[in-house]
Chains A and B, each alone.
Chain A
Amino acid sequence: MKQKAELIKIINILLLSALLCFFVWQLYITFIKYEDKFESPLKVTEQDYGNDFISQYGNRYEEIKNLFTKPVTMTYIGEPNEDFATGCTHYFLTQYFLSPNLILRNNAVRDTIIYNLYNSKKFDPASNYHLNNGWHIVKDFNNGLIVLAK
């Protein structure tokens, strides 16, 4: 009986050791994916921090933020013929950086309109629908962001 208990104890220890080996193996696999970063954390911090797409994109909105002293509801217009996913990303980022202003992209016409022409940067004033229908340019920020008002 005592021998059986000893045997079970040994088996338990062996199984626990195997489990620990498995954990260590898994941790090692995870570690090697980040090995470079763990080797030089300061360099990685300097290299990565603030250089992500969203932070960089936010720099475009620094100036325009000062234009709205109180929350405004405005219509959003992106690039013509942009694909759905890209259009969504730019629209959501505009809302993200300009909140609590409410930016809506449905077809309802509002007095304030924001153009986010992240590629073309400019539109043709002669053929622009809004400029020819009572809106005027409040400010062109020369980075693709143009605010129109009635």
Chain B
Amino acid sequence: MMFFFSIFTSLLLGLLSCLIFFKEKKNLNFRFLLNLSLPIGMGISSVIFISLTLFGLSFFLISLIEIALIIFLVFKVKDTKKLIDQFEWFNLDKLLLSPILLLLTVIYFYAWLMDSGIFYFDSIKEPHGLWDAWNYWNLKAKIISRAPNYWPHVLHQMGSDDFHPDYPLLQTGYVARCWLYIKNESVWIPIVVCYIFTFCTIGLLASSVSIFTNKTKGFIAGLILLCTPFYMTMGDSQYADNTVGFFYLATIILLTFARREASIKPQLLIAAGITAGLSAWSKNEGLLFIVCLFSSQLTLLFFKNYRELLTEFKYLFLGMLPILLLIAYYKIKIAPPNDLVNAQGAQTFIKLADFSRYATVSKWYMEQFSTFGKWVLNPWWLFLFGILYKGISIKGNKYSLISNFTLFLLMLIGFFFIYIITPLDLVFHLSTSIHRLFFQLFPVFIFIYFLAIKGNSPIRKPASLT
């Protein structure tokens, strides 16, 4: 019972926050809202829980504060009954009109059920998760849940080479919070948390592509992730890569929403700031994402007034500020230095000048092209075929597509240079992480791809969405 309550409170927190972000709520797609709000709620719960434990508050008091926040948001949203009437629910009649759409729906739900089964079977085989899951994420969740007011001291003393205690605490904090709710360290909590992040990423991708283009493309986008065998392995391994991947995707979707109209939408930019902040609270790569996010917006200087862009920056920064403060406090005061950062020095310049390292990393990047996702047939050829057959058009979402694609490229370049300067054995580092880093960006790539492909005919006008 408490298990559901712990997740339900996060759902409410996320749902109400998202309803405030999407102020004009006409024809709001419920599937989109649900897939967006649940992980955001979990992220906010994690931030609240960890922040308040740092102030020495008891778990009971933290729970009360969370509930009080939910009540406050209910009053802020006001007319929930009217809202529910405005949702666009699942409409079977529309699907029955088009045989192709019906077929896509059937395959989509079949894939969803099958992947849920695979997730379940893998999870009961390895209920503590794979190596990184129990060794970093679940270990720290145990420390926090067993010593809610003492954990900073324990993490501070941990050897940075062994346990990576500098890794951010979104997933860890949320699992610890749920364990404290149910007063039991059930292995099902991290399993369910990872399930939610994995499947909400798929749902968010499918529903947002559907909103920005059409239902067929939405289903295809979702199916690409559902059919990628390694994507489920990433989810059920209980690593935080799908978590950070979700927040990358949510950020660029919210930015795309914010930029669909001529006028700035401050609440959506703040929401994008929050999700970008939550990505940095999920994994260290999220910090790189924030740097790339701001850098990528600079490309818009060619098209926009710099004052307008500065205003956008202001709202983005405002959204992520509380989370960045928490991360800064955690990194400076609690966590030992990051092993990759700590090892930099004169060696960094030697590595940057070593061209054999560039060749090695490039080779691994190219290899990912052929083995990515463990598909039976390399899916990149299908993406390429789509571009050749349909062509690319950036008319509808010019600003978003330019900045999002730049962001995607900057992330790839950023990862590349992290490998160049890594203090770890280069091949070992590449072999253990490159596929996961690429997978973090895969949903983002699919989203950008479907928005860029020609022949997008939005079902609804953008004005009715937000």
Check: A22 CB closer than 8 A to any chain B CB: yes
User: How long is the Cα–Cα vector from A44 to B142 in the complex, in angstroms?
Assistant: 28
Residues of A within 8 A of B143 (CB): 99-100
A27–B115 alpha-carbon span in the complex (Å): 9
Bitwise interface map of B from 114 to 142 toward A, beta carbon under 8 Å scored 1, else 0: 10011011001111100000110011001
What are the interface flags for A5-24 relative to B under an 8 Å C-beta threshold, 1 for contact and 0 otherwise?
00000000101100110111
Q: Which of B126, B127, B163, B375 interacts with A95 by CB under 8 Å?
A: B163
Query: Which residues of B are found within 8 Å of A54, using beta-carbon distances?
Result: 126-128, 134
Decide yes or no whether A143 CB sits under 8 A from chain B: no
Q: Are B110 and A92 in contact (CB under 8 A)?
A: no
Are B104 and A96 in contact, with the CB atoms below 8 A? no
Chain A min CB distance to B387 (Å): 13
Which listed segment binds A: B52-60, B146-154, B313-321?
B146-154
Q: How far is B157's CA from A106's CA once the two chains are assembled, in angstroms?
A: 12
Interface presence of B223 (CB below 8 A)? yes
A29, A34, A41, A71: the one contacting B150 at CB < 8 Å is A71
B359 interface residue, CB < 8 Å from A? no
Q: Roughly how many angstroms separate A100 CA and B154 CA in the complex, as a whole number?
A: 7
CB pair B146–A99 under 8 Å, yes or no, is yes
Given A13-B100, A92-B135, A102-B158, decide whether A48 and B111 contact each other with a Cβ distance below 8 A: no
Complex: A99 Cα to B155 Cα, angstroms: 11
Complex CA–CA separation, A13 to B142 (angstroms)? 52
Which A residues lie within 8 Å of B409 (CB)? none
Which chain A residues lie closer than 8 Å to B458 at the CB level? none
Question: With an 8 A cutoff between CB atoms, is A37 at the interface?
Answer: yes
Does A49 sit at the interface, judged by CB under 8 A? yes
For A44, list chain B residues within 8 Å (CB).
121, 124
Q: How far is the CA of A25 from the CA of B124 in the complex (A)?
A: 26
Given contacts A19-B220, A49-B127, A95-B139, contact A102 B227 (CB under 8 A): no
B376 at the interface (CB under 8 A from A): yes
- Nearest to A101 among chain B residues (CB) is B154
How long is the Cα–Cα vector from A56 to B21 in the complex, in angstroms? Answer: 47
Complex: chain A residue closest to B118, CB-CB: A34
Q: Is the CB of A31 within 8 A of B114?
A: yes
Contact with B along A120-148 (1 / 0, CB 8 A): 00000000000000000000000000000
Q: Which secondary structure dominates chain B's binding surface?
A: helix
| A134-B256 Cα distance, complex, nearest whole Å | 67
Residues of B within 8 A of A105 (CB): 159, 162
Q: Mark B90-116, 1 if CB is under 8 A from A, else 0.
A: 000000000010011001001100100
Closest A residue to B158 using CB positions: A102
Q: Please tell me if the beta carbons of A102 and B157 are within 8 angstroms of each other in the complex.
A: yes
Q: Is A52 positioned at the interface, with any CB of B under 8 Å from its CB? A: yes
**Chain A, Cβ-Cβ closest to B156:** A102
Q: Which of A26, A38, A92 contacts B162 (CB 8 A)?
A: A92
Bin chain A's interface residue count.
Answer: 35 or more
Contact indicator A100/B125 (Cβ below 8 Å): no
Report if B389 contacts A (CB, 8 A): yes
Contacts of A37 in B (CB 8 A): 117, 121
Q: For A55, what are the chain B residues with a Cβ–Cβ distance below 8 Å?
A: 127-128
* Cβ of B229 under 8 Å from chain A: yes
- Interface of chain B residues 389 through 414 with chain A (CB within 8 A): 389
Note all chain B residues with C-beta closer than 8 A to A29. 229, 376
A24 to chain B, nearest CB (A): 7
Docked pose: A71 CA to B125 CA in angstroms: 31
**B-contact 0/1 string along A36-57, CB 8 Å cutoff:** 0110010011001110101100
Find out whether the CB atom of A23 lies under 8 angstroms from the CB atom of B223.
yes
Q: Which residues of A contact B262 (CB under 8 A)?
A: none
Q: Are A102 and B154 in contact (CB under 8 A)?
A: yes
Contacts of A31 in B (CB 8 A): 114
**A40-B314 Cα distance, complex, nearest whole Å:** 56
Verify A23–B117 contact, CB threshold 8 A.
no
Cβ of A49 and Cβ of B124 under 8 Å apart? yes
Do A52 and B376 touch (CB < 8 A)?
no
Closest to B121 in A: A37
Q: B147 — which chain A residues lie within 8 A by C-beta?
A: 71, 100
Confirm or deny: A59 has a beta carbon within 8 angstroms of a beta carbon on chain B: no
Partner of B142, one of A25, A34, A96: A96
Partner-B contacts on A (CB < 8 A): 13, 15-16, 19-20, 22-27, 29-31, 34, 37-38, 41, 44-45, 48-50, 52, 54-55, 71, 73, 91-92, 95-96, 99-100, 102, 104-106
Q: Which 9 A-B pairs have the closest CB atoms?
A: A100-B147, A54-B128, A99-B143, A100-B143, A26-B227, A49-B124, A99-B142, A37-B121, A100-B146
For this complex, 28 residue pairs linking A to B, each with C-beta atoms less than 8 Å apart, are A16-B216, A20-B104, A23-B111, A26-B227, A26-B375, A27-B110, A27-B114, A27-B227, A29-B229, A30-B118, A30-B227, A37-B121, A49-B124, A52-B127, A52-B128, A54-B126, A54-B134, A71-B147, A71-B154, A73-B157, A92-B135, A92-B139, A92-B162, A95-B139, A96-B142, A99-B154, A100-B142, A102-B157
